[in-house]
Structure 1
Amino acid sequence: MRPLRRTLIQGLLLPCAITLLPTQAAAQEGQLAGRVVDASNDVAIVGADVALNDGAARVSTDRDGRFSITKLEAGVYDLTVAALGYSETTVRGVQVGPSGAPVVVRLQPSAVPLSKITVSPGTFSFGGQTAAARRTMSRADIDAVPQFAEDVF
């Protein structure tokens, strides 16, 4: 009778243990959510690049400045945030767990240096270099001219 009892106990405990394994693994997963705002006025920054640990995971902020990175292993991460017109910011030691608090990242506005632009006056003509009081154009001529609107035919 003893071997039968042992087999029954093992037969019941093994499925229970297997059922609990995914729950244990899910407890080790976390997510990181937050918002990126302008430090001067707390306005949401749309399209900011949010990266974990030098690009291990990367997302962009939505129209409300919010971001979310899911299916992360629980632990401590460095969060780097960059957006055009703002200084890049790194937040070190961000704790990720099953119930992490949202992170608010405030970016400082900064000027974007551009290369020098030179504007020169000149003329522009669709019809060529010669002036004409009157000109008849065929469909092929009209099709060859760059257009900025719908087809005239």
Structure 2
Amino acid sequence: MRGHKTIESFLSIRSKVPSRGLSPSRLTHQFSNNRSKTRRLIFYSLTCFFALHAAAATPYARIHSPPNGAVLRANAGHTLTYEIDPGTEGNHVHVVIDGREVAVLRKRTGIYRLQGLASGPHEICLKVANKAHVPIGIEHCVQVVVEK
């Protein structure tokens, strides 16, 4: 009787061993309770995992600097500090200044040097795009003014 694999065979052997307050029926009940607790734990763990994954998978694009409405000095070095999460549909981000694409950025966070901004108002945008370079609708724009 080696290698008992079922709970019934375990219980039949257990019933022959002097009991410490655990009858075979109580062991069966305890075993089924542990199994249902394990199932519930697995269910709740998977539910939390998928809920967090869905929340984290929301694509976004953020420009941290320059802030919206910033006044920049002409001939000074200016940088665009950004953070993106392209999600499952996006692949990279396009930097667009005044409606003209000036760069493609593939890092999720970084710094891009803004060059050649003439005096006057400008709109700086980050647009998340797919592998075919088609914007997927996730973008963030800021308005800045360059003064002499």
What's the TM-score once normalised by structure 1's chain length? 0.32
Please state which structure has a larger fraction of its residues in strand.
Answer: 2
Higher helix share: 2
- TM-score, reference length from structure 2: 0.33
